[in-house]
Amino acid sequence: MSIATKVLDLLTGDEPNQPRLTWYGPADERVELSGRVLANWVTKATNLLVEEGEVEPGSRVLLDVPVHWRALVWALATWCAGGELVLPAEEDEADGADGEPEYADLDEDDDADDDESVFVPDETSEEPDIAVTSEPSGAPSAGLVLVVALPALAMHVEEPIPAGALDAAAALMTYGDHLGHVQEPGADDAALSGPEIAGSTGGPVPYGELAEWCREQTPACHRDEERPRVLCAPRDHVEMLAHAVAAWRAGGSLVLLGEDVDSSRFDAIQAAERAAVRC
């Protein structure tokens, strides 16, 4: 049983109606998901990945979604399906050596104005099998593109989506509430990769190391806490994933603050949510 399916069992086992994920976003947006509801979202997303994208061990799923409760849903779903979760480079890591993005001038024959430039992706990187993105107008190249909506509990994507892409927000509701057939990953199968992420061998973090890797990313203040309620304003996807997995494996819950939440609100939110641990 993979770490993600173990987390699903924990979310739905003991006190499944208790809050497990609380999200604060822009314009005072707040979303609270119980263990049962969160597990249901993850189950549906897993079924979609397997049935639409044939995700299995060895499949690479790019998470092109900002720090958000929906990003956690798709991350867990990828792991439930046994795939490799690929984290994108943060903005400063994607820039050139001088801190500016790398661009190439368009040739006169290109279908664009002469003074425009286009971003040049890293041609050495392997194209993912699946890309889960919240940016339909700038969706990355992948075998299958799944577009998700970020507004609170949105059931479809408002913007036009690329040809061949899937409105995952709308499609998700059509998938089963019970986990279908998934191929369990082996201990050596890749679970997580991205810039500056490496397991003990220097490559992607394998499933056999994922739980301990997440634990090592979390501060010592709640590594061994039981049932912690953790307030987290992560700097990146790594912190978001590590804090979430650590909290849930310990039977606790996560209060996740989005990038648009001003730091002046942190104390008030912590008090209102009765979060004993702050990271």
Domain boundaries, the chain: 3-278
What is the model's pLDDT at position 110?
40
C-alpha to C-alpha distance for 230 and 256, rounded to whole angstroms: 8
Query: Which residues are registered as beta bridge partners of 146?
Result: 132, 166
Evaluate whether 8 touches 42 at the Cβ level (below 8 Å): yes
CA atoms within 13 A on the CB side of 30: 9
Res 116 pLDDT > 70? no
Where is pLDDT greater, at 119 or 166?
166
C-alpha to C-alpha distance for 253 and 247, rounded to whole angstroms: 6
What is the model's pLDDT at position 1?
73
- Assign residue 12 a region: left if phi > 0, alpha if psi is -120 to 50, beta otherwise? alpha
What is the model's pLDDT at position 70?
96
Element (H, E) at 237: helix 237-249
Average pLDDT over residues 236-253: 92
Provide DSSP, 33-48: EEHHHHHHHHHHHHHH
What is the model's pLDDT at position 92?
53
Evaluate whether 138 touches 130 at the Cβ level (below 8 Å): no
Other C-beta atoms closer than 10 Å to the C-beta of 179 total 17
C-alpha to C-alpha distance for 1 and 168, rounded to whole angstroms: 26
pTM: 0.87
What is the model's pLDDT at position 140?
93
C-alpha to C-alpha distance for 197 and 213, rounded to whole angstroms: 10
C-alpha to C-alpha distance for 228 and 11, rounded to whole angstroms: 14
3-state secondary structure of 175: coil
What is the model's pLDDT at position 100?
39
What is the model's pLDDT at position 125?
61
Where is pLDDT greater, at 35 or 203?
35
C-alpha to C-alpha distance for 150 and 135, rounded to whole angstroms: 10
What is the model's pLDDT at position 91?
61
C-alpha to C-alpha distance for 146 and 279, rounded to whole angstroms: 31
Question: 3-278 falls under which CATH superfamily?
Answer: ANL, N-terminal domain (3.40.50.12780)
What is the model's pLDDT at position 114?
40
What is the model's pLDDT at position 93?
47
What is the model's pLDDT at position 203?
85
**Letter for the amino acid at 220?**
A
24-49: per-residue pLDDT in tens? 998 889 999 999 999 999 999 999 99
> What band does 185 get if pLDDT is binned at 50, 70 and 90?
very high
Res 117 pLDDT > 50? no
